[in-house]
Amino acid sequence: MSTLLEVSGVSVTFDGFRAINNLSIAIGEPELRAVIGPNGAGKTTFMDIVTGKTRPDTGKVLWGERSIDLLKLSESQIAKAGVGRKFQKPTVFEDQSVHDNLAMALKNKRGPFSVLIWKAAESDRARIVELAEEIGLSDRLAHRAGDLSHGQKQWLEIGMLLAQDPRLLLVDEPAAGMTPAEREHTTDLLKRAAKTRAVVVIEHDMEFIRRLECRVTVLHEGAVLAEGSLDHVTKNQQVIDVYLGR
Amino acid sequence: MSIEISRVTTAPAPRGSFLRANPSVLWFMGLLGLFTLGVTILSEGFGIGAISTNLVKILGMTLCLCLIAIAMDVVWGYCGILSLGHFAFFGLGGYAIGMWLMYARTEIVIRDSLGRGTIPPTELEVAEGVAAQIFGVVGSSELPLIWSFAGSLPFQLAMVVLVPGLLALVFGWLAFRSRVTGVYLSILTQAMTLALALYLFQNDTGLRGNNGLSGLQNIPGYQHVPQSVISMWFFWASAVALGAGYLLFAWVVSGKFGSVIRAIRDNEARVRFLGYNVEGYKLFVFTITAVISGIAGALYYPQAGIINPAEIAPIASIYLAVWVAIGGRGRLYGAVIGAASVSLLSSWLTGGGAPNIDLGLFRIVWTDWWLVFLGLGFVAVTLFFPKGMGGLFDYLVRKKP
């Protein structure tokens, strides 16, 4: 397992509030990692920094074998480099069909001119059908994404992520609003994805994390409080204090 | 039902199915062809003379307005950029072709009058004569630098495309790169068209200030051809341009490109995280629609006969947005319906064609009240028919799930 993403000494301040405080995390490839922490611990801000949405005040974010500085790239360049993100609230393009949503995410050339003359190749079509099967939306391809249920939208977004074929998947609360059966399906999907790439999952639900059976990082006040297996971190006194209050 | 859907799943649309996937394009082409044929048969120049040359010009100009309206629909209805400055590009196209029309025709007149003398005129004398003739009205006899190639039709035709295109490219690059969006971008485009209009109003800009360019209906070299025939030439050219523009934009918005720009309209941040360079797409759409607007303007003003800076005042571009909103955003034929109906209604009501209504205590004079009704209509459409007039077609064509 080699290091894919290395965040070191990153700090961000919003209007005097220190959202991220000297945070350092390294993610390997392939790896499944869960990030937990109380509200305001900086979990989502961490994803914002990696994807280029938020610029940190200090620190470094290095990517890949050649240690590319992600802070110098725009959002779209970071996405093209291989970072995919799923948002907390499912954000799919509701006005367009499930098929078109997936087609847009497919790993193809992204320039205006290449997209203008793009025609779905046989492999693209096969990939869309395959993805739809994986996310359980095979019979919904022609439907408007806006007509899907909340859980189906979550899956469509995960499907779009997989279509991008990223090396690093950042997944923010994937199981929010899902039924127990849907949760189980989502866990399987993430575990399968993590066999070939790096997956970072933010989640509140401990039961969900337990099923992921992976290394856990606990964030608190913008810094790493503990890291290790779920059993290890839940025995940590500091973690217990943070979660249960002192 | 499940059988129907699974068929769609396993066999997505085959290649070359653009027209089959967009039946409205065929309908539009058919109706445009019929309309053109009908006007030709009824015209004075080529038919039975049932409609006047003046009306042919109005219809031809309306086709040009429909062309800029579909450009506006692509930039606003599909890509979500509410540009309130596209008439600036329309006007620039008109100025570019107007310079050639005016220069070449004046040159013929000057050569004619100088040629009557005993000694043939030198080129310098001709050039000075042309400059004095064109710019006498603003108290100058020097030919401004921007008129250097005004005598060349190919050069001015290139300018029809290049000037609006380059202005849009530079303006768009600056605006989109700074991530100016929404209302702020709209205000910026208004400022652009206002600044351009004020600049052109100055006499020393070299485009005859508030006099503008005139006599554009006379085509150099075709003085002997009556207006009834020339008006039909421009009518046909406008119809061909509208048809070609419609095809081009229908193709642009139908495929994955259309999918991406509609996604940008709905959630541009999300599109960035998919790896698309949102600014590049916006710039592409802004520029290509500006170029088409310039071409529409170059066909419009020879039919109008005159262009002056008032044509690109901010209000013109606001009207353009009103047409598209009333006709229906996000569907090309909606923009055509909106532009054609509102602009024709406007010329009928303000041209004295409509009878005034006497209500006893009060008299509705259409020239005064037209704008009030347009405003009310706009509010009503926005509140009650957000899909515009084009949305009525959804009731006719039952959409599949």
How many Å apart are CA A38 and CA A204, to the nearest integer?
Answer: 8
* Nearest CA-CA partner of A211 in A178, A246, A245, A163: A178
**Confidence label for A4 from pLDDT (cuts 50, 70 and 90):** very high
Q: Is A112 an interface residue toward B (CB < 8 Å)?
A: yes
pLDDT for the residue numbered B16: 55
What percent of chain A has pLDDT above 70?
Answer: 98
CATH assignment of the domain containing A206: 3.40.50.300
**How far is B8 from chain A, CA to nearest CA, in Å?**
7
pLDDT for the residue numbered B399: 54
pLDDT for the residue numbered B5: 41
pLDDT for the residue numbered A245: 64
pLDDT for the residue numbered A246: 53
Q: Is B9 an interface residue toward A (CB < 8 Å)?
A: yes
Q: Which two tokens stand for residue B81?
A: 């950029």
B76 neighbors B327 (Cβ within 8 angstroms)? no
pLDDT for the residue numbered B6: 40
Give the H or E element holding residue B341: helix B332-350
Name residue, tokens 């003739």.
B133
State the CB neighbour count (10 A cutoff) for residue A86: 21
Q: Is B259 an interface residue toward A (CB < 8 Å)?
A: yes
* Nearest CA-CA partner of B317 in B339, B347, B332, B299: B339
How many Å apart are CA B68 and CA B340, to the nearest integer?
Answer: 11
State ipTM.
Answer: 0.88
Residue in A with minimal Cα distance to B268? A93
Residue in A with minimal Cα distance to B277? A76
Residues of chain A in contact with residue B401, where contact means CB-CB under 8 angstroms, are: 142-143
Angle among Cα B74, B15, B275 to the nearest 5 degrees reads 55
How many Å apart are CA A197 and CA A200, to the nearest integer?
Answer: 10
Interchain contact, A103 vs B259, CB within 8 Å:
yes
Residues β-bridged to residue A17? A14
Count up the domains in chain A and report the number. Answer: 1
B336 neighbors B392 (Cβ within 8 angstroms)? no
Interchain contact, B256 vs A125, CB within 8 Å:
no
Average pLDDT, chain A: 90
* Domain residue extents for chain B: 18-396
Interchain contact, A141 vs B9, CB within 8 Å:
yes
Q: Helix, strand, or coil here: A28? A: strand
Residue in A with minimal Cα distance to B12? A125
Query: Which residues of B, range 269-298, sit inside 8 Å of A by Cβ?
Result: 269-270, 272-278, 280-281, 284
**Which of B273, B284, B401 lies closest to A85 in CB terms?**
B273
Interchain contact, A104 vs B266, CB within 8 Å:
no
Domain that holds residue A127: 3-244
**pLDDT tens-digit map of A17-27:** 888 999 999 99
Q: Is A104 an interface residue toward B (CB < 8 Å)?
A: yes
**pLDDT tens-digit map of B99-108:** 999 999 999 9
Q: Is A164 an interface residue toward B (CB < 8 Å)?
A: yes
Residues of chain B in contact with residue A143, where contact means CB-CB under 8 angstroms, are: 401
Q: Is the pLDDT of residue A181 over 90?
A: no
How many Å apart are CA B97 and CA B67, to the nearest integer?
Answer: 17
pLDDT for the residue numbered B321: 94
**How far is A244 from chain B, CA to nearest CA, in Å?**
36
Interchain contact, B12 vs A120, CB within 8 Å:
yes
pLDDT for the residue numbered B217: 93
Residue in B with minimal Cα distance to A112? B281
Residues 6 or more apart whose Cβ sits within 8 Å of residue B382: B325
**pLDDT tens-digit map of A186-227:** 898 899 989 999 999 998 888 889 999 999 999 998 899 999
**Which of A95, A118, A160 lies closest to B266 in CB terms?**
A95
First-residue to last-residue Cα distance in chain A: 38
H helices within chain A, ranges in order? 43-51, 75-81, 98-105, 112-116, 122-134, 150-164, 180-193, 206-212, 230-235, 237-244
How many Å apart are CA B83 and CA B317, to the nearest integer?
Answer: 8
Residues of chain B short of pLDDT 70, as ranges, are 1-16, 398-401
Interchain contact, A79 vs B10, CB within 8 Å:
no
For chain A, how big is the Rg over CA atoms in Å? 18
Residue in B with minimal Cα distance to A137? B9
pLDDT for the residue numbered B116: 81
